[in-house]
């Protein structure tokens, strides 16, 4: 119930204005968001690299409505990739991209062209791009774009969401050599017709998808903070005799930091997803929807001075 309310608020411009102008919002946001510009992204990437973590950077923004915004997003990624290469933080750092930030909702070809330009920049910087997955109305379009990009840039990564009923089939299709697949539970409010609704069903689907990916020849990226799923991931790695460089765990910046470092100490490759930028509202609201304790933290900050 609370999750539905927060996810509905995530799409409300009125609530967005209220939250953005609240006194301490920004302080709470800092727990989950690296900062507003490229230099913040660079600073946090360096800190995480020093702690033995790999990184994927997300320039925050979604639901772009003008070609100018889409162009600006592409240019920010190009700038970021050049700066990361210059600082010798690639290939340890890569980027995650939302096609909606590149104009997918109003011009799919434009979004493809921008995504391709970002792949060119990533390739020049010696690193990779992973396409984030948004709500289910965009899944086909995103996977089609992925297929086209992979013809030229085979290491381009996909995200699959275990809560979607279709995802086991998508996992089978993408569990092929050289294919990088980030498996997450899914963060959007989706109808029963397309997505499992109960946490148990989502967890069971995650394990079925993980089995497909971990037993296949591709490169699985297990994106979850769920202790049971992490333990099952460790188990499957042993069962399918996967070497430490043939899969990775991924978690969000600011979530379960101690666990991220524990997994590094165990010899696993762990990648932290680091968002940065000024458009933090939609991202933050999805994080709040995932965990009631975060809502309490946020409300305390909003109401105190």
CA distance linking residue 249 with residue 53, whole number of Å: 10
Please identify, using beta-carbon distances, which residue of 153 and 188 lies nearer to ligand FDA: 188
SS3 state of residue 195: strand
CA distance linking residue 268 with residue 244, whole number of Å: 6
Q: Please name the residue ranges forming H helices in the chain.
A: 2-9, 13-21, 25-32, 38-50, 67-86, 108-125, 139-152, 167-174, 199-215, 227-239, 257-265, 281-290, 292-303
CA distance linking residue 200 with residue 258, whole number of Å: 25
Q: Could you tell me which stretch among 37-45, 62-70, 112-120, 285-293 binds ligand FDA (CB under 6 A)?
A: 285-293
Query: 129 and 156 in contact (C-beta within 8 Å)?
Result: yes
Neighbours of 14 (CB within 10 A): 8
Does 159 bind ligand FDA (CB under 6 A)? Our answer is yes
Does 132 bind ligand FDA (CB under 6 A)? Our answer is yes
Residue 130 CB, nearest approach to ligand FDA (Å): 8
Does 188 bind ligand FDA (CB under 6 A)? Our answer is yes
Among 47, 75, 201, 226, interactor with ligand FDA by CB under 6 A: 226
Q: Could you tell me which stretch among 37-45, 65-73, 234-242, 245-253 binds ligand FDA (CB under 6 A)?
A: 245-253
CA distance linking residue 121 with residue 127, whole number of Å: 9
Give burial (CB, 10 Å; 0-12/13-18/19+) of 23.
exposed
Does 190 bind ligand FDA (CB under 6 A)? Our answer is no
Does 74 bind ligand FDA (CB under 6 A)? Our answer is no
Does 233 bind ligand FDA (CB under 6 A)? Our answer is no
CA-wise closest residue to 130 among 100, 102, 97, 160: 97
**Active site includes 180?**
no
Does 294 bind ligand FDA (CB under 6 A)? Our answer is yes
Among 25, 73, 104, 161, interactor with ligand FDA by CB under 6 A: 161
Q: Could you tell me which stretch among 34-42, 46-54, 85-93, 179-187 binds ligand FDA (CB under 6 A)?
A: 179-187
Give the active site residue among 132, 180, 236, 287: 132
Residue 204 CB, nearest approach to ligand FDA (Å): 13
Neighbours of 139 (CB within 10 A): 19
Among 29, 44, 115, 223, interactor with ligand FDA by CB under 6 A: 223
Tokens of 83: 């700066």
Does 248 bind ligand FDA (CB under 6 A)? Our answer is no
What would the x/- binding string for ligand FDA be over residues 34 to 73, using CB under 6 A?
Answer: ----------------------------------------
Does 255 bind ligand FDA (CB under 6 A)? Our answer is yes
**Active site includes 132?**
yes
CA distance linking residue 98 with residue 277, whole number of Å: 13
Among 133, 175, 205, 269, interactor with ligand FDA by CB under 6 A: 133
Query: 98 and 64 in contact (C-beta within 8 Å)?
Result: no
Which residues are the active-site residues? 132, 182
Residues of this chain that interact with ligand FDA (CB under 6 A) are 132-133, 159, 161, 182, 184-188, 223-226, 250-252, 255-256, 273, 287, 290-291, 294
């Amino acid at each position: 119930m609370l999750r539905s309310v927060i996810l509905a608020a995530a799409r409300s411009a009125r609530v967005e204005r209220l939250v953005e102008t609240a006194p301490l919002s920004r302080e709470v946001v800092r727990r989950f968001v690296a900062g507003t510009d490229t230099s913040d992204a660079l600073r946090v990437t360096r800190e995480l690299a020093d702690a033995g973590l790999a990184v994927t950077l997300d320039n925050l923004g979604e639901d772009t409505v003008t070609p100018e915004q889409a162009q600006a997003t592409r240019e920010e990624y190009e700038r970021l990739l050049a700066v990361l290469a210059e600082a010798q933080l690639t290939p340890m750092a890569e980027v995650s991209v939302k096609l909606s930030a590149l104009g997918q909702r109003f011009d799919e070809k434009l979004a493809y062209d921008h995504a391709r330009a970002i792949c060119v920049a990533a390739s020049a910087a010696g690193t990779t791009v992973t396409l984030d997955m948004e709500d289910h109305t965009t899944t086909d379009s995103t996977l089609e774009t992925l297929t086209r990009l992979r013809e030229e840039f085979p290491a381009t990564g996909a995200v699959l969401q275990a809560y979607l009923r279709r995802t086991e089939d998508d996992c089978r299709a993408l569990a092929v050599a050289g294919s990088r697949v980030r498996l997450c539970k899914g963060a959007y409010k989706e109808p029963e017709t397309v997505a499992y609704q109960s946490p148990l069903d989502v967890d069971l689907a995650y394990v079925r998808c993980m089995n497909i990916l971990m037993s296949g020849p591709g490169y699985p990226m297990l994106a979850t903070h769920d202790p049971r799923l992490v333990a099952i991931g460790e188990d499957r790695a042993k069962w399918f005799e996967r070497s430490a460089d043939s899969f990775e765990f991924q978690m969000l910046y600011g979530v379960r930091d101690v666990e991220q470092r524990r997994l590094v100490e165990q010899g696993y490759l762990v990648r932290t997803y680091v968002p940065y930028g000024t458009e933090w509202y939609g991202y933050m609201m999805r994080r709040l929807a995932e965990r009631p304790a975060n809502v309490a933290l946020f409300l305390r900050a909003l109401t105190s001075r």
